[in-house]
Amino acid sequence: MDMDFSYINEFFANSIVAAMVWSMIATMFLVIAIVILRSFQGRTGNDLPESSNSLTNFKEMHAQGELSDEEYRTIKTAVSGRVRNEINSSNEKS
């Protein structure tokens, strides 16, 4: 029951066929990687509360000089309370 697989070697001897096979394999791995990355993408974007995103924006504005120190402290105090409430409510839902 000795099988002759020499036809496989002849098939892959053609460089065009070999390139096509390797391209298909690479494409399959790329598609799998994209599916895996997209499954994680939704998790990271929704983990931060909306107020936390706002606070980040205000922090950037303060760093660029668009907000004074006093304005930033006032906003930070107000938004920090909302962030705590959002975190607490999201923990209760989980």
Question: pLDDT for 44-56, tens place per residue?
Answer: 545 555 666 777 8
Q: What is the spatial distance between Cα 66 and Cα 31, in angstroms, rounded to a whole number?
A: 43
pLDDT score of 33 more than 70: yes
Phi first, then psi, for residue 49 (nearest 5°) are -65, 155
Flag whether the pTM goes above 0.85: no
- In tens, the pLDDT along 53-68 reads 777 888 888 899 988 8
Q: What is the spatial distance between Cα 56 and Cα 62, in angstroms, rounded to a whole number?
A: 10
- In tens, the pLDDT along 18-32 reads 888 889 999 999 999
Measured from the Cβ of residue 79, the count of other Cβ atoms closer than 10 Å reads: 21
Q: Can you read off the two tokens belonging to residue 91? A: 């923990």
Mean per-residue pLDDT over the chain, rounded: 78
